[in-house]
Structure 1
């Protein structure tokens, strides 16, 4: 057991903190609760007289959650509620696979289906549902429950769209469409809420730490991209020259950011001086998922596209990779969601009906389905 895991288990109970700004001018409260506590497990968002989407029998995974362990030996993704609600599965939530054998190692019935992040140094997973998060060990033991994001209501939809650990592992960041990016400090014998970054306009959609962890870049659909100080919670810079419909963001391996511009299907590179490139067109209709390989290659996916675009490090040449052939009993491959690179350069992805798949450079390799 690592030091952080051991200290966390011995940690104190409830620690609450206040953020920077709230929608009404006050201070929204974030909470770190030791152990497992109740969270909103599913969307309550419905319009009157309009029926919600019907559950699906077919096996599937969430398009938003995917994370590779630092050593590349395991991968985590999430199983939605559909099949459990229909009695076809005993679990809904986080699933962990062995990347060598493609076999399932563990299934957690944690209800976490909105994103997952692997701790960079400890055997811990952060996983999100619509309004809260768990930090868990790989045996499913919940160490901390994090609350504070707004839950969906009958009239408005909110959900956590992205998670990221600080490079040193002592901070976790969660981004929600409620307009906040919440920071959580991990270390010593406690989990402590940190500043709340309040995005005043647009919908935050994606985030990424700089390599040294000194800043957080946030893509805000409707307001462009912004840099924030994760220590003070203050906004450091706004990339005014970039497209306002920023839906995806990632570091490119050269200290720059790659932005996915949704309305125009375009990629833009933001230099260290804050200047934006003219942009490069992409075949991905809504480039919300951007992942950078150890050698600088960039994978782009999203927008219900049935495949991904793979770019070289300079965004000068690309190739489009289709999903595997149609699944006979379903009739279509379904869209492809988030991608993630292993340390050896293997590209992993989640696809609606295929589940977790890996690209070896010539063909897709499917993983065992939950």
Structure 2
């Protein structure tokens, strides 16, 4: 039987919120909005309630731009590192001819955006200067100046949020938005200048779809999914996301987390803490919700490779600059690093037991690192020793351990694949020959009986790793060699990332026959692919700077693309339990995407 007890006090005592709502505009080209004032009032009620949020709330309704700038500057100045600050904006979002983002004030003139509106870059700089380590920015607006074109929206033209809200690491900044790029933030029917519906009649005051859902989750406590008595920012986002989608609106709320300060709590739950709550088995599902959280880690150099340890306690990353970094994916903190090569690292792979980390790149060698120390990650320097494997491979583009850990395969510019015993560090057999150009991807089948190799010669080949002999003919249907190659967890599918404008290429490795490709809407060059451990998802990414999730059996998309990187994505990896997807990009960041569990 499920019981409850009162929620404990919030751990952060210094909590402040600035809520800005602009619905009235002097510029006749900017339509009035009815939702902002009501949204701010509702949010102020739940955030300011001592029994819920305990925030000191300042509300600014229909400010002129000068007063708006002063209010933001005053609010963010003088904060201490231990404080939590919330900045909320509900208004028109506008773009100038150079696609720079501005937030409208009541005296904003569309023809004079730099001098009459709040520059998003200026706001970012004020947040950067603020010493509070926990910052929450909530935007209920679209990035557009053409509200009148679309009924019910706050804009019509958009750009990706990360272009303006850059990665500020180690500050625990969370950004929630009411919609994705190119989508509207709906509030129902717009107002005429007189304050009535376009079709006439009185108009009841109500909040926007997104903020209303956010407030409902906080006020009722229904957003507290884990029953711990607190509603975190991630839980509030997940609840609002579900409500917006249930409402049938064509908008997809987004969450962005930059830096690493752990969970940030918005409110206490009036439902209290659930005690002895039952744990029913979840119903099977065929698709997953979008990420429950997103976190961007800053790296020293562009990232070419990421890899999880088998137990999920470590995430390794490497790339240009030759350094390997280790991270704790739960705390999002770096735990160790080493200079692996004087030049760019191209490939990483953990052994199945997690005792070894293989690394290779432009110095034409393969290194074995031993991530020493207990799994508690208490030691500051984990990468202590390495051993260079004998034999040259040319520049190393790909590495893979066999499932039993008895073999390590490496491929690269030498056009061959070399096999080693990673324990004795001795070569096994002769190099595998057959490709006529660079070998850029490797994958062992789950049972270890096949080794797949992909090359820029536009072929994928299968080998028996025990004999070094080819299995069957090269697999057909490849237009261009690509970096990604993966077996499904059950071994029934082999997937190659595909070339420019192509979806992934799939085969039955037992027969060598292609499997029908459906993957609609592909327009980018795919550089990386990864299967979730349960095989329910296939993740792909590349030059489009986004990650797409697919049902590999149907080739149909699952959810919306995951956005946040500013450069091409070259590596993807799932944690062993499938709860985290990591992505490495040439923008010198690692994306961590929290995914709900799947029973598909």
TM-score, normalised on structure 1?
Answer: 0.65
Q: Distance in 2 between matches of 1:340 and 1:197?
A: 27
Shift of residue 363, structure 1, vs aligned partner: 1.5
Give the Å deviation of 1:106. Answer: 1.6
Which residue of 348, 351, 354 corresponds with 2:542? 351
CA offsets, 1:28-82, max 9 Å, x none?
Answer: xxxxxxxxxxxxxxxxxxxxxxxxxxxxx9xxxxxxxxxxxxxxxxxxxxxxxxx
Q: Deviations over 1:241-298 (max 9, x none)?
A: 43253322111234220111322x1222111211113322232411432101112111
Q: Pick from 333, 336, 340: which aligns with 2:526?
A: 336
Give the deviation of 1:319 after TM superposition.
Answer: 3.7
Where 1:115 maps in the other structure, the secondary structure is strand
Asked whether the 8 Å contact 1:220–1:244 carries over to 2, the reply is no
Task: Name whichever of 243-252 and 222-231 sits farther off.
Answer: 243-252
Residue 146 of structure 1 and its aligned partner are, at CA, apart by 1.7
Larger radius of gyration: 2
Higher deviation after alignment, 126-135 or 179-188: 179-188
Match of 2:494 in 1: 298
Q: How does 1:132-151 map to 2 (within 5 A)?
A: 132-138=323-329, 139-151=331-343
Task: Please tell me whether the aligned partners of residues 338 and 383 of structure 2 are also in contact (alpha carbons under 8 angstroms).
Answer: no
**In the alignment, does 2:454 pair up with 1:257?**
no
Higher relative contact order (CA 8 A, sep 6+): 1
1:307 alignment partner, SS class: coil
Q: Any unmatched runs of 5+ in structure 1?
A: 1-56, 58-82, 152-158, 327-332
| Aligned counterparts of 2:257 and 2:364: Cα–Cα separation in 1 | 30
Aligned pairs for 1:186-265 within 5 A: 186-188=371-373, 190-197=382-389, 199-200=391-392, 202-245=394-437, 246-254=439-447, 255-263=449-457, 265=458
Q: How much has 1:177 moved relative to structure 2?
A: 2.2
Q: What are the ranges of 5 or more consecutive residues in structure 2 without an aligned counterpart?
A: 1-99, 101-159, 170-255, 259-287, 375-381, 565-600
Looking at secondary structure, tell me which structure has more strand per residue: 1
1:266 aligns with 2:459: yes
Distance in 2 (alpha carbons) for counterparts of 1:218 and 1:196: 13
| One of 313, 319, 325 as aligned partner of 1:129 | 319
Pairing 1:181–2:366 present: yes
In 2: Cα distance, 1:262 partner to 1:304 partner: 13
- Say what the alpha-carbon RMSD is for the aligned residues: 3.0
Alignment check: 8 A CA contact 1:261 1:287 kept: yes
- Shift of the 116–314 alpha-carbon distance from structure 1 to 2, 3 Å rule, reads same
Deviation per residue, 1:73-130 (Å, 9 max, x gap):
xxxxxxxxxx9998652259xx999x74334432212245211111111422111131
Q: 1 CA distance for matches of 2:413 and 2:442?
A: 11
Which whole-Å CA distance do the structure 1 matches of 2:526 and 2:168 have between them? 22
Q: Is the 8 A contact 1:179 1:199 kept in 2?
A: no
Cα distance change of structure 1 residues 354 and 315 upon mapping to structure 2, 3 Å threshold:
farther
What is the distance in 1 between the residues matched to 2:468 and 2:510? Answer: 17
Give the length in aligned residue pairs.
Answer: 272
Q: List per-residue Cα deviations over 1:167-190 (Å, max 9, x = no partner).
A: 011111112122011111123455
Distance across 1 between alignment mates of 2:556 and 2:290:
16
Q: CA deviation at 1:198?
A: 5.2
Aligned with 2:294: secondary structure? strand
Going from structure 1 to structure 2, the CA distance change for 1:188 and 1:169 (only over 3 Å counts) comes to same
Higher mean displacement: 315-324 or 349-358: 315-324
Is 1:171–2:360 an aligned residue pair? no
CA shift in 2, pair 1:348/1:369, >3 Å: same
1:341 deviates by 0.6
SS across alignment from 2:504: strand
CA contact (8 A) 1:195 1:230 kept: no
Q: Deviations over 1:141-165 (max 9, x none)?
A: 11111213123xxxxxxx2221111
